[in-house]
A and B are shown apart, each in its own frame.
Chain A
């Protein structure tokens, strides 16, 4: 869900960049210097996982995973996603320098929101609560991202309204798939490595 270069207006770009700088500094502050290698390895795992394409009928979508990224990393999801987007911009030229701020906020903010909304519920003992929370985490993270992308476009130019609506609608199947993937992923992690879900990096000092 990248917005390409050259689409957004200056006020939207500046707002995005300012918000991104503020949130990234919170994330960096919460990240201990000696934890950097660990956060980096998880970030690269997310980078690689987002290259996975899952089939939806005749076409396919790639995983976004900003929900589970937020769940594991909390506020650190901002620097983690910033780095991933920077690498994508340089290696594949998806997105670019001027939209980096907006794109980071659009992807990472939903992650942080979902971490606060569903983080504790997802790691609960009660099976049904945890399942619903995990699904919602994946679902709403993509929904919020879609809405933020739509808002960035509409604030740029009102005629983008139709495009914006179409983007949110087109992401409906993605939301459901991300929900299902996050659900299974959280059940898996709870069984195999429960400490990962505790937001070990999320809390920070």
Chain B
């Protein structure tokens, strides 16, 4: 359930320097998020799709991820066209859908999918541990990075613990329903999960102290920026600059 579905691969994108990918992902997402013009959003979507293709990710899995977010957006499609003020475009019974509303929701749909695709192509293709070290080199505070890496490390351990507890509940005939008994059982499940992880945390802390832990996390991985990283960075920055110019109608 908790796995890095896209992080393993040997494509061009997988082999790029993670720091370059993080920087590009952030700048690209921010530009797309603040864009409002379709003449910028359309090319942005094309760029995102190209990134996905370059990463050679399984299309089915990527599509499945998009499906979830678009479920939420579908909800906006049912509401926003009717709450927006503007010229009438169509009517459903007494409700009037406006042109402005439809344009606004389309904008959101484009932005969401574009940013999501770019995130899958650029960030989800970095293994979490590498991502942590890359963030550190990009001046994210040490404490935050350590918390990030440790949390990810223990999610798997705690998840196994959780599955064991749920199995124990099932063996004893627990069937979740809408009643107080169910909520109480789940609350105790959360409680015991917290208690066990607290006890485990103490043991881990002591074990780490024994091994000389002083709050620093050393890494052996070294990143290096190669020619192709620089080429990629330049091309992407140029593309993003193009999007900015399309959005704000700047002409050279």
Contacts and interface: CB of A to CB of B under 8 A. Distances in A.
B141 A34 contact: no
Contacts of A9: 34
Main DSSP-derived SS at the A contact region:
helix
Contacts, number: 251
Contact of A189 (B5, B29, B195): B195
Interface stretch (A53-61, A108-116, A117-125, A140-148): A53-61
A54 B176 contact: yes
Nearest to A188: B191
A41 B108 contact: no
Given A10-B33, A36-B215, A38-B205, A55 B176 contact: yes
A189 B25 CA distance: 42
B72 interface: yes
B29 A97 contact: yes
Contacts of A89: 119, 123
Interface string B142-161: 11101110111111011100
Given A79-B147, A86-B148, A93-B120, A4 B182 contact: no
Contact of B112 (A6, A35, A63, A160): A6
A185 B190 contact: yes
A63 B186 CA distance: 10
Given A55-B176, A57-B178, A80-B147, A184 B187 contact: yes
Interface residues of A, number: 75
A162 B215 CA distance: 48
Interface in B195-216: 195-198, 200-202, 204-205, 208-209, 213-216
17 contacts: A5-B116, A32-B215, A35-B205, A39-B147, A42-B201, A47-B158, A48-B155, A49-B162, A55-B178, A65-B190, A80-B147, A83-B148, A93-B68, A159-B83, A159-B84, A189-B194, A192-B195
Interface of B: 1-5, 25-26, 29-30, 32-34, 65, 68-69, 72-73, 76, 79-80, 82-85, 101, 104, 107-116, 119-120, 123-124, 128, 131, 141-144, 146-148, 150-155, 157-159, 162, 176-178, 180, 182-184, 186-198, 200-202, 204-205, 208-209, 213-216
Interface of A: 4-10, 13, 24-25, 28, 31-45, 47-49, 51-52, 54-57, 63, 65, 68, 72, 79-80, 82-84, 86-87, 89-94, 96-99, 157, 159-163, 166, 177, 180-185, 188-189, 192-193, 196
